[in-house]
């Protein structure tokens, strides 16, 4: 029997029932080597899947986003097969693809070593050379449970017990069988370019109460060139790592004796943060925000009323005094709600925009903490806007323009997502739909493209997530805009409308940079520590050639400081070349060198971090140059 297929170019073809997409590819282009999987009527399928129905058929190339995910997931299975062959008694768990590669978690009696990774890689290459067919199988849920029990795979049994469908799919390649939705490559011979990267600990299901497993990370690409480019990218990312640069540039430190995940800013790091805070205060005031400050802890009853206790209790810190329980705040919204509710509000008062650089604390789990990027104590540029429903679009658009201006200042491009109602959430779906629609319409009216992130909203409302892209094209979550109809209800927030009736305002939660700690970590890596002049903690360093110019160098420093330049001195009795090299490593934008000739002429020899030696310059010329490069101009 023939079945009718419609291809991407609307070409219609007839193929025998039971033939595969790979059979069709070989008929169309001879080999089909460009393609890794297919999509039939919107459903991903293997290239060697028998075709039993007609419809629209398209093919997934290896180098597409979906193709890379399939390639990497198939390579994770290859790695698990190699591990089980080399280390009898190991239990396999899960092995997904990630943005940059894949991993697989194993339960094994001893720790894997770098030598083990090399052995596993070699066995993987042997399996590739064998070109083992990869075959999809389907079993009833009960059959699959029995199958994995007999193989001694308790983690697979646990996963299958949570599957509601009566039939589950498995993939077999030689002696290895895994529970998997698929699709996968047709055979192991398609998986030739990969590298295992490292081993790390990981709790089963990400729960610290479960057993600690061993996670082997790897990556895979369609070509050797792709792998080489990725490894070079990794080297650059390592060179820019904010933890390493934080030590090198003396910006911040962490100390276990002070508390895990709590950052301590050194003088230069504190200046960097102060520059960002000062910029934010000025820009918020310019945009009609009111500065507020809330207490560091609030009574636990308030967090119960808001619903935070139900959803965030495990991430909160508590203290008890005089019979009362207080929670150290994990966010800033409740104090802002209390300010709003401190007096009667008229419709003419709205919108009201409260802004706070609020320090919060969250008990982030050990496995997810990562320097400044995931700390337990951090400061948010938090704001809460209270507006009438008819003002909602204008306020959301105003926030989006603010985000656009700030991201442009740092040279970040960004992508936008709308995160919708999670499984556990307050309120009726109709209210969620109304809030989500307001976010969508605001983005569309400004011409922004966005994607929907199903089920990832906050428990009290949908949100716009801004994913900025740094110099290495990595994506970072920073700004967010959350539309909230529920906390105004819980705290009975009202305003008096034109007819004298009490109405409920809409509340917008938003951050622009997000956590200052996280944003500083991103900036360090984005710039590789070489901050632009306006942002550099030290904009210039004055250095003498000999002690004969010491007093003059100090005079130059005083004049620059008086003019508002962030300047330091390097008057050590060291060779000039050494001082230049060391300050270059400190990534100082300008070095002002003074010798007898410069002292006689009343100027300096100017050296730029990027351009090298710029020759003689008067102090006026130096000041004008630094001031010009320090100008920060944002839109409105």
By annotation, the residues acting in catalysis are 333, 362, 380, 382, 384, 463, 509
Q: Which of 328, 335, 326, 325 is nearest to 356 (CA)?
A: 335
Within 8 A by CB and 6+ apart from 342, the residues are none
Maximum C-alpha span of the chain: 98
* DSSP per-residue letters across 257-279: TT-TT-EEE-HHHHHHHHHHHHH
Residue 465, φ and ψ in degrees, nearest 5 = -105, 130
Pairing state between β 102-107 and 212-220:
antiparallel
Q: In the structure encoding, which two tokens stand for residue 503, read together?
A: 């109405």
Q: Are 232 and 219 in contact (CB under 8 A)?
A: no
Q: Which two tokens stand for residue 618?
A: 């008067």
Q: What values do phi and psi take at 580, rounded to 5?
A: -65, -45
Query: Angle at CA 544, nearest 5°, toward 540 and 550?
Result: 110
How far apart CA 515 and CA 517 sit, in angstroms, is: 5
* CA atoms in the 13 A half-sphere facing the CB of 562: 8
Sheet order of strands, 35-40 included: 12-16, 2-6, 55-61, 35-40, 43-45
Alpha carbon 330 to its chain's center: 20
Residue 226: what are its φ and ψ, rounded to 5°? -60, -40
Radius of gyration, alpha carbons of the chain: 30
**Alpha carbon distance 144, 164 (integer Å):** 13
| SS3 state at 379 | strand
- Residue 538 · residue 566 · CB < 8 Å: yes
Instruction: Identify the residue whose tokens are 């209270």.
Output: 386
Kindly provide the b/e burial profile for residues 448-463, where b requires at least 16 CB atoms within 10 angstroms of the residue's own CB.
Answer: eebeebeeebbbbbbb
Q: Are 432 and 398 in contact (CB under 8 A)?
A: no
| Backbone dihedral angles phi then psi of residue 300, each to the nearest 5 degrees | -60, -30
């Amino acid at each position: 029997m023939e079945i009718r297929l419609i291809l991407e170019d609307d070409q219609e073809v007839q193929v025998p029932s039971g033939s595969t997409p790979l059979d069709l590819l070989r008929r169309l282009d001879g080999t089909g080597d460009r393609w890794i999987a297919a999509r039939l009527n919107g459903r991903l399928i293997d290239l060697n899947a028998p075709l039993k129905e007609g419809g629209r058929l398209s093919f997934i190339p290896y180098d597409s986003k979906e193709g890379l995910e399939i390639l990497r997931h198939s390579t994770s299975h290859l790695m698990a097969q190699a591990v089980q062959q080399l280390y009898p008694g190991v239990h396999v768990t899960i092995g997904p693809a990630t943005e940059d590669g894949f991993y697989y978690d194993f339960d094994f009696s001893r720790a894997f070593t770098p030598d083990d990774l090399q052995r596993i890689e070699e066995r993987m290459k042997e399996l590739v050379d064998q070109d083992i067919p990869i075959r999809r199988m389907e079993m009833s849920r009960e059959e699959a449970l029995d199958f994995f029990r007999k193989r001694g795979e308790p983690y697979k049994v646990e996963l299958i017990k949570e599957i509601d469908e009566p039939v589950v799919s498995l993939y077999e390649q030689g002696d290895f069988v895994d529970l998997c939705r698929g699709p996968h490559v047709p055979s192991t011979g398609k998986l030739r370019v990969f590298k295992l990267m490292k081993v790390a600990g990981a709790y089963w299901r990400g729960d610290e109460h479960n057993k600690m497993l061993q996670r082997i990370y790897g990556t895979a690409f369609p070509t050797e060139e792709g792998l080489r480019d990725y490894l070079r990218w990794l080297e650059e990312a390592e060179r820019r790592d904010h933890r390493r640069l934080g030590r090198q540039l003396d910006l911040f430190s962490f100390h276990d004796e002070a508390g895990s995940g709590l950052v301590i800013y050194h003088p230069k790091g504190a200046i960097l943060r102060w520059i960002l805070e000062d910029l934010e205060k000025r820009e918020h005031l310019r945009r009609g925000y009111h500065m507020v400050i809330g207490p560091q802890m609030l009574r636990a009853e308030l967090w119960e009323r808001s619903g935070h206790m139900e959803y965030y209790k495990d991430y909160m810190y508590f203290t008890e005094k005089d019979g009362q329980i207080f929670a150290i705040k994990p966010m800033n919204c409740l104090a802002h709600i209390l300010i709003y509710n401190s007096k009667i509000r008229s419709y003419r008062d709205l919108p009201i925009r409260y802004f706070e650089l609020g320090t919060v604390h969250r008990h982030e789990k050990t496995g997810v903490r990562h320097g400044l990027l995931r700390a337990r104590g951090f400061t948010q540029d938090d704001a809460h806007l209270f507006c009438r429903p008819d003002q909602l679009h204008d306020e959301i658009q105003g926030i989006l323009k603010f985000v656009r201006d700030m991201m442009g200042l740092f040279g970040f491009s960004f992508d936008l997502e709308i995160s919708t109602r999670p499984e556990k959430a307050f309120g009726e779906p109709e209210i969620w739909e109304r809030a989500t629609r307001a976010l969508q319409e605001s983005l569309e009216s400004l011409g922004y493209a966005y994607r929907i992130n199903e089920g990832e909203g906050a428990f009290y409302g949908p949100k716009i997530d801004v994913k900025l892209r740094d110099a290495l094209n990595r994506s970072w979550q920073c700004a967010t805009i959350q539309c909230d109809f529920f906390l105004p209800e819980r705290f009975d927030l009202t305003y008096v409308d034109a007819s004298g009736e009490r109405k409920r305002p809409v509340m917008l939660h938003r951050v622009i940079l997000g956590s200052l700690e996280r944003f500083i970590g991103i900036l360090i890596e984005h710039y590789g520590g070489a901050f632009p002049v306006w942002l550099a903690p030290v904009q210039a360093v004055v250095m003498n050639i000999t002690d004969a110019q010491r007093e003059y160098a100090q005079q130059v420093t005083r004049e620059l400081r008086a003019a508002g330049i962030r300047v330091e001195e390097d008057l050590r009795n060291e060779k000039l070349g050494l001082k230049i090299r060391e300050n270059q490593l400190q990534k100082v934008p300008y070095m002002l060198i003074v010798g007898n000739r410069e002292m006689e002429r009343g100027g300096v020899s100017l050296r730029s971090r990027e351009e090298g030696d710029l020759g003689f310059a008067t102090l006026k010329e130096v000041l004008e140059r630094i001031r010009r490069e320090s100008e920060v101009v944002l839109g409105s």
